[in-house]
């Protein structure tokens, strides 16, 4: 039960906000979790379901600037753009592409490791003894390639993973066929990375965690947060369509929708939505053994409860435009090529918004101007993976406990402001 700690409003009921609420409630604070949706119904519902600890290498690898124009013009490439959105995207894109340098990629990967390297253990600690723990499945993370030459052509990123301690087990021929017998002939080489995990139903997992937070005394509210109530530089509450919510501290963890809230407090964050797509194949004829990243299509196929989920693709088009049809077609075509024997009885489709900063790292920590406001957003493709650790960091900072690693890479004011 909540004790006599501080009154804390957490904005956003995805995995980051819910994790923050759980750890804060365990510290004895009076927590109010506020979102316009029910817990776990946004991006935390629609992700690939992988606790992707090895995904520390950002998209902005050297040479991306040469490849990107061709990918945008290729209907079979996993990068899409709503061209009408390009004028709004360009300032962010220019800052994003500045990080396509070897030293920057190394820096970003090193900064990701403390957030995601022990993701499975962090999820287990967060959910232990709660109904949510049944959704966590320890597993490998499996990557497949057309052949060994394709894998060998990307030594930079795989070398970074090795240097950070990930075990890369290479498979081909009979070993590959034994490990994943349903894999089609288009992929003749694989790498499995032990020590990962998957969530077999991400939406229900987050809902169960939110229900656990309620058993600890947290209050879950549906409301649209429009701004903040302030007394000078101190934020004293949330402004919502249903009236103000008073609090001592605020956590902003509402993903791609966090930018205007930060702006209302004087911080201009270079944040864009990477629109992600998934298709769920219902009652599939078989399940892949582990979450499988099909590198040719830049998507992941993950076994879940009664279904498999195809998730991935990047589209730039902002928060308001409806889903496009082409990413769904591409996901299905790539899945059929990777697993030609896979059949299913029905489909469910979804599109959501990954909150992507210009340097591929989240904003985690207090605002300099408003120190009772903590930011916890911008995790790009790693929100589910990093959510529990981020929530624990937020709770530690509010309690005055200093994490045992450098938080400077996630400093909110690093972009200026």
C-alpha–C-alpha distance, residues 172 and 240, integer Å: 56
Residue segments in the chain with a per-residue pLDDT below the cut of 50: 1-2
C-alpha–C-alpha distance, residues 244 and 238, integer Å: 5
Q: How many CB atoms lie within 10 A of CB 358?
A: 21
Q: How many CB atoms lie within 10 A of CB 394?
A: 28
* CB contact at 8 A, 263 and 275: no
Token reading at 12: 């956003």
What confidence tens digit (pLDDT) does each residue in 34-81 have?
Answer: 999 999 999 999 999 999 999 999 998 888 777 777 666 666 667 788
* CB contact at 8 A, 34 and 245: yes
pLDDT value for 147: 96
* Secondary structure (DSSP) of 88-130: HHHHHHHHHHTT-SHHHHHHHHHHHHHHHTTHHHHHHHHHTTS
Query: Distances from the Cα of 411 to the Cαs of 50, 247, 319, 365, 416, in angstroms?
Result: 26, 23, 25, 6, 10
Enumerate residues 6+ apart whose C-beta is below 8 A from 166.
53, 54, 193, 195
What is the pTM assigned to this prediction?
Answer: 0.95
Token reading at 372: 């009772």
Fold of 62-100+136-197+271-357: D-Amino Acid Oxidase; Chain A, domain 2 (3.30.9)
H/E stretch holding 63: none
pLDDT value for 76: 62
pLDDT value for 232: 85
pLDDT value for 358: 96
pLDDT value for 2: 47
Enumerate residues 6+ apart whose C-beta is below 8 A from 144.
180, 183, 187, 189, 190, 292, 293, 294, 295, 338
* Secondary structure (DSSP) of 343-394: --SEEEEEEEEEEEETTS--EEEE-SSSTTEEEEE-BGGGHHHHHHHHHHHH
Token reading at 20: 């923050």
Token reading at 132: 């949510």
pLDDT value for 73: 62
pLDDT value for 254: 97
C-alpha–C-alpha distance, residues 126 and 43, integer Å: 19
pLDDT value for 297: 81
């Amino acid at each position: 039960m909540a004790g006599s700690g501080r009154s804390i409003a957490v904005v956003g009921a995805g995995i980051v906000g819910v994790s923050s609420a759980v750890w804060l409630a365990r510290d004895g604070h009076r927590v109010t979790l506020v979102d316009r949706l029910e817990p776990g119904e946004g991006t935390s519902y629609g992700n690939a379901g992988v606790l992707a600890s090895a995904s520390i290498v950002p998209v902005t690898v050297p040479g991306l600037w040469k490849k990107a124009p061709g990918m945008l013009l290729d209907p079979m490439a996993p990068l899409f753009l709503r061209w009408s959105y390009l004028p709004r995207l360009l300032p962010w894109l220019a800052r994003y592409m500045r990080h396509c340098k070897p030293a920057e990629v190394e820096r970003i990967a090193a900064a990701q490791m403390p957030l995601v390297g022990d993701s499975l253990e962090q999820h287990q600690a967060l959910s232990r003894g709660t109904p949510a723990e049944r959704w966590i499945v320890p597993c490998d993370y499996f990557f497949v390639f057309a052949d060994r030459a394709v894998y060998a052509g990307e030594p930079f990123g795989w070398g970074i993973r090795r240097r950070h301690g990930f075990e890369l087990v290479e498979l081909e021929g009979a070993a590959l066929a034994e490990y994943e017998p349903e894999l089609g002939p288009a992929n003749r080489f694989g790498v499995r990375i032990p020590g990962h995990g998957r969530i077999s139903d991400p939406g229900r997992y987050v809902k169960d965690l939110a229900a656990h937070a309620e058993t600890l005394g947290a209050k879950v509210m549906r409301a649209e947060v429009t701004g903040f109530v302030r007394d000078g530089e101190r934020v004293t509450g949330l402004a919502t369509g249903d009236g103000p919510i008073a609090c001592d501290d605020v956590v902003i963890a509402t993903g791609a929708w966090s930018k205007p809230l930060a702006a209302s407090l004087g911080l201009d964050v270079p944040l864009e939505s990477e629109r992600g797509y998934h298709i769920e194949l219902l009652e599939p004829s078989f399940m892949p053994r582990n979450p499988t990243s099909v590198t040719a299509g830049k998507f992941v196929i993950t076994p879940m409860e009664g279904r498999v989920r195809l998730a991935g693709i990047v589209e730039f088009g902002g928060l308001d435009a409806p889903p496009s049809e082409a990413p769904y077609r591409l996901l299905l075509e790539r899945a059929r090529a990777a697993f030609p024997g896979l059949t299913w009885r029905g489909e469910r489709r979804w599109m959501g918004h990954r909150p992507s900063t210009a340097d591929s790292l989240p904003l985690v920590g207090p605002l300099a101007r408003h120190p009772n406001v903590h930011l916890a957003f911008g995790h790009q493709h790693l929100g589910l993976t990093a959510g529990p650790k981020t929530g624990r960091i937020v709770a530690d900072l509010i309690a005055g406990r200093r994490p045992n690693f450098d938080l400077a890479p996630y400093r909110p004011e690093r972009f200026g402001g």
